[in-house]
Amino acid sequence: MVIVVGAAIISGGRLLAAQRAAPASLAGGWELPGGKVDPGESDEAALIRECKEELGVLIELADRIDGDWPLGEGKVLRVWTARLAAGEPEALEHMALRWLGPDELGDVAWLPGDLPAVEAVRRHLLSSGRR
């Protein structure tokens, strides 16, 4: 099983969405930033590394969102909520970035594998907004 990690980077009650540039089969689709866990690397370390490579930011991880979501081809997605610790996100490996509030999450075409995780993050945003 290949573990893919995703960061639900939240700022001001909004979620950072990233538009894929590659591969061609996924280009244009929206996802949570992240990527594959390298051998010998923890999920958390991989997520911090991927966000630095893809977005040029340092993130601080918070809560793991319950679930291992299948992505096909023996891959599963694991997601953590995170906040920006340093830097402003840049689309270094993506076509575009957008900050979306809970009511705007349907405004972009999420990749099918990310949809269940995004819905879980939406519930998290709504519940944390009520506190």
CATH label of the domain that carries residue 36: 3.90.79.10
Write out the residue range of the structural domain in which residue 29 sits.
2-129
> Mean pLDDT, to the nearest integer, of 7-12?
96
Q: What is the DSSP string of 58-114?
A: EEEEEEEEEEEEEEETTEEEEEEEEEEEES----SSEEEEEEE-GGGGGGS-B-TTT
Q: Specify the number of domains making up the chain.
A: 1
Average pLDDT of the residues of the chain: 94
Q: What is the mean pLDDT of residues 90-114?
A: 95
The pLDDT of residue 117 is above 80? yes
Report pLDDT for 129: 63
- Across residues 88-100, what is the average pLDDT? 97
Question: Torsion-angle region of residue 119: left (phi > 0), alpha (psi -120 to 50) or beta?
Answer: alpha
- Cβ atoms within 10 A of the Cβ of 39, count? 5
Residue with structure tokens 């689309």?
91
Question: Number of helices (H) and strands (E), helices first, in the chain?
Answer: 2, 7
Instruction: Report the pLDDT averaged over residues 102-117.
Output: 94
The whole-model pTM stands at: 0.93
